[in-house]
Amino acid sequence: MTLKFKLIIVFCLALLCSTPWILSPYYMTLLLPAVAYSIILLGFNLLFGYTGLLSFGHAMYVALGAYTVAILTSRVGIKSMELNILGAALVCFLISIPIGLLCVRYVRIFFGMLTLAFGMLFHSILFKFYDLTGGDSGIKVIRPNLFGVDLSQMDKTNFLIGPFFYYSIGLMVILAFVMWRIVHSPLGLHLQSIRDNPRKAEYLGVKVHRFRLIAFVISAVYGGIGGALLVVPVGLADPELAYWTQSGNIVFMTIFGGFNNFFGPIIGAFAFIGLKDQIVSQTQYWRLVLGLVLILLVVFLPGGIMGLFKTKKTAARSQEIS
Amino acid sequence: MTAFIDIVLSGIFHAAVLFLLAGGLQLVFGVQKIVNLSCGAFYALGAYFGITFVNFSIQQGASPSYLLALILLAGTLIGLVGPLIERLLRLVYQREEGFQLLLTFAIMLVLEDLIRMIWGATPMTLGNISMVYGKLNFASTTLPVYKALVIGSSILLALALGWMLQRTNFGRIVRATAENRRMSEALGVNGVWINVAIFTLGTMLGTLGGALVVPTSAASLDMISEVVVEAFAVVVIGGLGSMRGALVGALIVGLLRAFAVYAYAELEFLLIYLIVILVLIIKPSGLYGKAAE
């Protein structure tokens, strides 16, 4: 990482941290889900961009994280956000292991279909088992304490764009740093070699299934933590979070930002949410416009937004791979 | 006993419609190797267009007793949007499956809003028009004749498809192309044309399914994403790319749903997904599919 690159990141972070003084509260409430989705997509891209497995059921882990927070805060009465996040991560960790063990044996379309089936299975559990999950009305989320400080008396907007906003950014920075270390470690190299040529990787001694499973579990945990952050501003965990079209949106955002690039998913999350907000304010037919954008992306700009900034060197490299 | 026959009949009716949709998916997957997520939008398109077409025809003085013919005509006509969509998909045949899947997802979003623009967001029905054929006394229960006609049409369509694929020259070319595209093109098959023809046929099966079901239930925007997962379950259980698989899968899913709704409504979809997962784990190629890589 060059110095110039580091400076750009520091500048972007400083800009993000100063938004409460620049943007109106309305736009601030859009930044919160964008930060949460950044975390979700960072995890998703470890699986998709780095390991080459396209999951069409990733919304399941987002919903798992969200429901964990909802149940812990409103039913169990655990208010500490840190414990809630740990809980969400732990639940996703434990559930993704058996599911991952079954899924990582398959690749390509079969992997996508199996994850989609698990996602929909979870959705129908959320939807139908009313006593446990509240059915279609979902479960309320009670405002958690941050670092043990009780903020329940604070005005909702002030809480969200103040302490909670910086809390989310802090978490995003930590998790992004961890992910950066993961993809630049031997583990990350293992995953990329599995993506590019699983047979050769196996021949060279890479335990393909085990590493796919590791990527699967890490991405699920990121999904759960993102889901935990996502649900606090909304105040409600509902089954819609786990529906398969949500998984489609996760893939959409990742491609939008650029799955070839480490920072692509983060850009994708912010760009997608900003774009969607602009379109929704202009027309009720936002799906049409978003769908057209997606068609253009897939056909003409598969590298996403980050693909636009690609240097000649990386362009040549990705040409080689494809 | 009455309840049992009722369940079986409603299951078979559901299976008849699902088969059409899943059959379309199978054709397209077999030849173009694309899992078409936008098939649910075709289904809804058929349903909405069916309503408009039937209402318009009746206003023009057509007798309601032509309902089935009108519905079949509507489903076939609107299926002609197929070539337009195929033109778009043609841009990604050489690309990774993820991008193909995403493109069909985008097409679904676009079609969903086009339907919303034309027909509005409130669900629409054809009212009681399907009762024009009366009811059939069947054992100790009754079955609306229209439903029996739908089951019959679906069986006829299945037979026609089977005949076309197995016995005609076109069918042989299609199967050869599905088997080995490069070889069949080397032997002089016009691959571009096969793609257009098969995709249009697949689209038509989807729109026909939607049109056939609409006299008995409402057309709504929710049906788009709901029916996709059901058709997908059929395809996975039966095996990707196999028409026989679509038939057996549709019967399994249709009957299971009918029994689950009757016995324990909470299980409705749960059971289907559980079976999908079981099939994928034990035999990922499905009951009739070719072995997975």
What is the mean predicted confidence (pLDDT) over A22-30?
A: 81
* B118 interfaces chain A, CB cutoff of 8 Å: no
**Range with the lowest mean pLDDT among A63-77, A146-160, B101-115, B166-180?**
A146-160
pLDDT for res A311 = 54
Q: Which residues of B touch A129 (CB under 8 A)?
A: 266
In the predicted model, is pLDDT for residue A217 greater than 90?
A: yes
Residues in B 22-51 with any Cβ partner in A closer than 8 A: 35, 37
What is the mean predicted confidence (pLDDT) over A10-27?
A: 82
Site from B36, B88, B100, B101 to mutate, A interface, most A CB atoms within 10 angstroms = B101
Phi, psi of A139 (to 5 degrees): -125, 135
pLDDT for res A322 = 43
Is the CA virtual torsion A309, A311, A314, A316 positive or negative? positive
pLDDT for res B293 = 38
Phi, psi of B124 (to 5 degrees): -125, 150
Contact A128 B268 (CB under 8 A): yes
Question: Which of A170 and A312 is assigned the larger pLDDT?
Answer: A170
Confidence band of B29 (pLDDT split at 50, 70, 90): confident
- Which of A26-30, B85-89, B128-132 is modeled with the greatest confidence? B85-89
In the predicted model, is pLDDT for residue B200 greater than 90?
A: yes
Three-state secondary structure of chain A:
CCHHHHHHHHHHHHHHHHHHHHCCHHHHHHHHHHHHHHHHHHHHHHHHHHCCCCCCCCHHHHHHHHHHHHHHHHHHCCCEHHHHHHHHHHHHHHHHHHHHHHHCCCCHHHHHHHHHHHHHHHHHHHHHCHHHHCHHHCEECCCCEECCECCCCCCHHHHHHHHHHHHHHHHHHHHHHHHHHHHCCHHHHHHHHHHHCHHHHHHCCCCHHHHHHHHHHHHHHHHHHHHHHHHHHHCEECHHHHCHHHHHHHHHHHHHHCCCCCCHHHHHHHHHHHHHHHHHHHCCCHHHHHHHHHHHHHHHCCCHHHHHCCCHHHHHHHHHHC
* A132 interfaces chain B, CB cutoff of 8 Å: no
Contact B270 A48 (CB under 8 A): no
pLDDT for res B264 = 76
Minimal C-alpha gap between A3 and chain B (Å): 35
Buried b (16+ CB within 10 A) or exposed e, B78-92: bbebbeebbebbeeb
Contact B232 A113 (CB under 8 A): yes
DSSP label of B124: B
Q: Residue A18 has which token pair?
A: 């100063």
* A301 interfaces chain B, CB cutoff of 8 Å: no
Minimal C-alpha gap between B137 and chain A (Å): 35
Contact B109 A290 (CB under 8 A): yes
Confidence band of B292 (pLDDT split at 50, 70, 90): very low
What is the mean predicted confidence (pLDDT) over B191-197?
A: 88
Q: What is the C-alpha to C-alpha distance for residues B82 and B143, in angstroms, rounded to an integer?
A: 34
Contact B266 A298 (CB under 8 A): no
What residue in A sits closest to B291 (Cα-Cα)?
Answer: A110
pLDDT of A113-137, one tens digit each? 888 888 888 888 888 777 777 777 7
* CATH number of this structure's domain B2-282: 1.10.3470
Q: What is the mean pLDDT of chain B?
A: 86
- Which residue type is seen at B153? S
Q: What is the ipTM of this complex?
A: 0.83
In the predicted model, is pLDDT for residue A318 greater than 60?
A: no
Cα A22 versus chain centre, distance:
26
Cα A241 versus chain centre, distance:
12
Among the partner residues A106, A112, A291, nearest to B101 by beta-carbon distance: A112
pLDDT of A273-293, one tens digit each? 988 888 888 888 888 988 998
Q: Which residues of A touch B84 (CB under 8 A)?
A: none
* B213 interfaces chain A, CB cutoff of 8 Å: no
What is the mean predicted confidence (pLDDT) over B121-131?
A: 82
Confidence band of A94 (pLDDT split at 50, 70, 90): very high
In the predicted model, is pLDDT for residue B181 greater than 80?
A: yes
pLDDT for res A317 = 52
In the predicted model, is pLDDT for residue B291 greater than 70?
A: no
Q: What is the mean pLDDT of chain A?
A: 84
Q: Which residues of A touch B37 (CB under 8 A)?
A: 248
pLDDT of A179-191, one tens digit each? 999 988 888 888 8
